[in-house]
Chain A
Amino acid sequence: DVKVTQSSRYLVKRTGEKVFLECVQDMDHENMFWYRQDPGLGLRLIYFSYDVKMKEKGDIPEGYSVSREKKERFSLILESASTNQTSMYLCASSLVGGQSTQYFGPGTRLTVL
C-alpha cells in the first residue's frame, strides 16, 4: 500500500516566519508534487520534482521554494509566510509516466496570522 505522509496536519504560523512542510513517500516514486487547495479554486500545483535535486515550477510558485535531497522526501518552504498563504497544502507522489496515478498525503492545514 502506497503511503504518503506529511509532517503536520495543522500548523499555525505568524507573518514573516519561515515555514517548512515535509512530505515523505515510501513507494520509491520518482515524481513528487506540492499543491495548495482553496475553496472555489481547486488544487493548484506549486512545484514538482522528477528526481532527486530536480525541481520545476508549477502554476503558482511565487513565495515558495522546494528541496528534494532524498528520493523519498520533498519539502516545501515558505521563506516569509504571508496571510495569503493560509491554505490546505497537499503533497503527492507518482511513478514516472504521463498517466501515473498520484497518491496524496493527508494534507497540512496552514494558518498564517
Chain B
Amino acid sequence: RKEVEQDPGPFNVPEGATVAFNCTYSNSASQSFFWYRQDCRKEPKLLMSVYSSGNEDGRFTAQLNRASQYISLLIRDSKLSDSATYLCGPYNQGGKLIFGQGTELSVKP
C-alpha cells in the first residue's frame, strides 16, 4: 500500500462550487500533515498545515480523521484562481515530507 494516496482527478467544478478531496495515509503514527498547492508549470507552495483535528484559512478547511487515516481539504466558493494541483501528506522525522501524487482541480467559469 502506498504511504499516501490521493484521487488524481481532475475535479472539474463551476465557479462558486464547494469541492472536497481526500488524502489517505498508511502510517498510523503520523501526527501532522500538510497541503501544498502547485499551479501549472510552477513549484509547490504550502497551503496549510494540519496539526490536530483541523485547520481553517478563509475558504479553505482541512480536517483530519485519525480513525480512518485521512485528511480532507474543503474549498468553498471556488474561484478560477483555485485551479491547481493539491498535494498532501504527513510530515516525517527530520523535516522530510511524504507527498501523494496530487489531486488536480479545474474551476470553470
Q: A98-B95, A100-B95, A102-B97 are in contact. Are A42 and B45 (CB under 8 A)?
A: no
User: Are A99 and B96 in contact (CB-based, < 8 A)?
Assistant: no
Residue tally, chain A, CB below 8 Å to B: 25
* Total CB contacts across the A-B interface at under 8 A: 53
From B92, which residue of chain A is reached at the shortest CB distance? A98
Residues of A near B91 (CB, < 8 A) are 98-99
Considering only residues 14-56 of chain A, those with a C-beta below 8 Å from chain B are 31, 33, 40-45, 48, 50
B15-37 near A? 1/0 per residue, CB < 8 Å: 00000000000000000100000
Contact call B95/A96, Cβ cutoff below 8 A = yes
Bound form: Cα–Cα A100–B94 in Å: 9
Q: Which of A41, A97, A101 has the most CB of B within 10 A?
A: A101
Closest Cβ of chain A to B80, distance in Å, is: 23
Q: Smallest Cβ distance from B23 to chain A, in angstroms?
A: 11
Q: Which residues of B are found within 8 Å of A105, using beta-carbon distances?
A: 43
Instruction: From the candidates B32, B45, B94, B99, name the one contacting A43 in the complex (CB within 8 A).
Output: B99
**Closest chain A residue to B43, Cβ basis:** A104
Bound together, the chains give a CA A111 to CA B97 distance in angstroms of 26
Q: Is the CB of A40 within 8 A of B8?
A: yes
Q: Which residue of B lies closest to A41 (CB)?
A: B101
Q: Please judge, given known A-B contacts A43-B44, A90-B43, whether A98 and B93 are in contact too, CB under 8 Å.
A: yes
| Contacts known (A40-B101, A42-B87); A106 close to B43, Cβ less than 8 A | yes
Quick one: closest A residue to B85, CB to CB? A42
